[in-house]
Structure 1
Amino acid sequence: MRRSRGWRIGLCSTVILTGVLLLAQGSYMQAKAYFAQYLIEQAWRQTLEDKQPHKPWSWADTYPVAKMTLMTADDLALVDSTFYVLSGASGRNLAFGPTMVQGGGLLTQGGNRIIAGHNDTHFSVLNGIKPGRVIIFQDANKQKRQYRVSSTQIVHETDNSALMPSYYDQLTLITCYPFNALQTGSSYRLIVRALPV
């Protein structure tokens, strides 16, 4: 009887300790993600001051190249989401924010600016986006340009037409599709195109 009770207490203690450790790990990851966004914002402010790239932390292999603001559908004076666009479209950089795939660099002049983001984090706001939504794009020159979503399209990952260079100014946002999928690694992409207002 005593042995059985001791075994139960030990099992309960192990389950509780495991739960506390998992909760602490999840909280640590959330805190780390929020702190990373703060550091990226600070790096962007420095970039606006001197027009030079600034890493958000010393070992980063990326830096913010633009700020992108998605306005709400109903009121153009209300901000829905703000993103700091990072240079270098690697998986590691995508964990911290949308990344510039093409048309990058600090001082960009027109062309097809292609920005990729994860559909379960930063670009989750693109779920159900409709033509007409306004995006404000700010570069390192402090120049702000308004773009209006002109079209959305779902394509297979082998369709590279969205990556083609363009002579006219446009934003192309790319994320995996469908949203809220049970498995990662979808072979479809949502392409959102926006043209200058």
Structure 2
Amino acid sequence: MPRLISPLALALIGVLLFGDGAYIHAKAWLAQLLLERAFDRSVATGEMIRPWSWADTWPVARIEVRRIGASAIVLEGTSGQALAFGPGHIHQTVDAGERGIAVYAAHRDTHFRFLRNVAIGDVIEVTRSDGKYFRYRADSSAVVRFDESGIDPATQNFELVLATCWPFDAVTSGPERYVLHATLITTGE
């Protein structure tokens, strides 16, 4: 009897751990669907639309890298709750398309997992919730310490930074960040 309990207990633990991991990815996927709907309504109405009634954040932009089929809705702020559902716009930075650096951050294992596939020269499209559209070209990337990003908040250029934890396949958090830098190439409505 004890020989039977041990494999069953291990199988149950394995199913629970798999379910927990699947839940995180399912939540991220469902959240992006709800965020996409709220974002589309924001663009159509010009109003801030919360994705669900208890949300403490709202969609502010959509990021797309068409070459690799990547898309994510960006939320206002980078609180832990906001980052659980999508990339966040760092408050102290400008909006995409404005003079300065717009910085968006997200988790490496969900919403910014695609950054590992973005190549220098790729076009990154950003549509804001007010309907304004901007195209950036990825021009550099770096791995930096979390407290030494090298981002110049006083720049007079029109820039975009996408940041996430490094390395991409790590299981635990660490002090390093992956920073993808891009420069504005076109604007539109």
Bin for the TM-score computed over the shorter chain: 0.7 to 0.9
Residue in 2 that maps onto 1:166: 155
Alignment of 1:175 onto 2:170: no
Superposed counterparts of 1:82-97, under 5 Å: 82-97=71-86
1:89-127 CA distance string (max 9 Å, x none): 12221121111114356x863321011111222222222
Residue in 1 that maps onto 2:50: 55
User: Measured at CA, do residues 93 and 8 of structure 1 come closer, stay the same or move farther in structure 2, by a change above 3 Å?
Assistant: same
In structure 2, which of residues 171, 178, 188 is the aligned counterpart of residue 190 of structure 1? Answer: 178
Separation in structure 2 between the aligned mates of residue 62 and residue 131 of structure 1, nearest angstrom: 31
Q: Which runs of 5+ in 1 are unaligned?
A: 73-78
Q: 1:15: Cα distance to partner?
A: 4.8
Q: Which runs of 5+ in 2 are unaligned?
A: none
Residue in 2 that maps onto 1:44: 39
1:55-100 CA distance string (max 9 Å, x none): 111111111100110132xxxxxx5200111111122211211111
Higher RCO (C-alpha under 8 Å, 6+ residues apart): 2
Q: 1:172: Cα distance to partner?
A: 1.1
CA RMSD of aligned residues (A): 2.5
User: Measured at CA, do residues 192 and 25 of structure 1 come closer, stay the same or move farther in structure 2, by a change above 3 Å?
Assistant: closer
1:85, 1:100 within 8 Å by CA — same for their partners in 2?
A: yes
Residue in 2 that maps onto 1:148: 137
Residue in 2 that maps onto 1:116: 105
How high is the TM-score relative to the length of structure 1?
0.79
After superposing on structure 2, the runs of 4+ consecutive aligned residues of structure 1 that deviate more than 6 Å are none
Q: Percent identity?
A: 33
Q: Which amino acid aligns with 1:146?
A: R
2:74, 2:87 within 8 Å by CA — same for their partners in 1?
A: yes
Q: Which has the larger radius of gyration?
A: 1
**Aligned length in residues:** 184
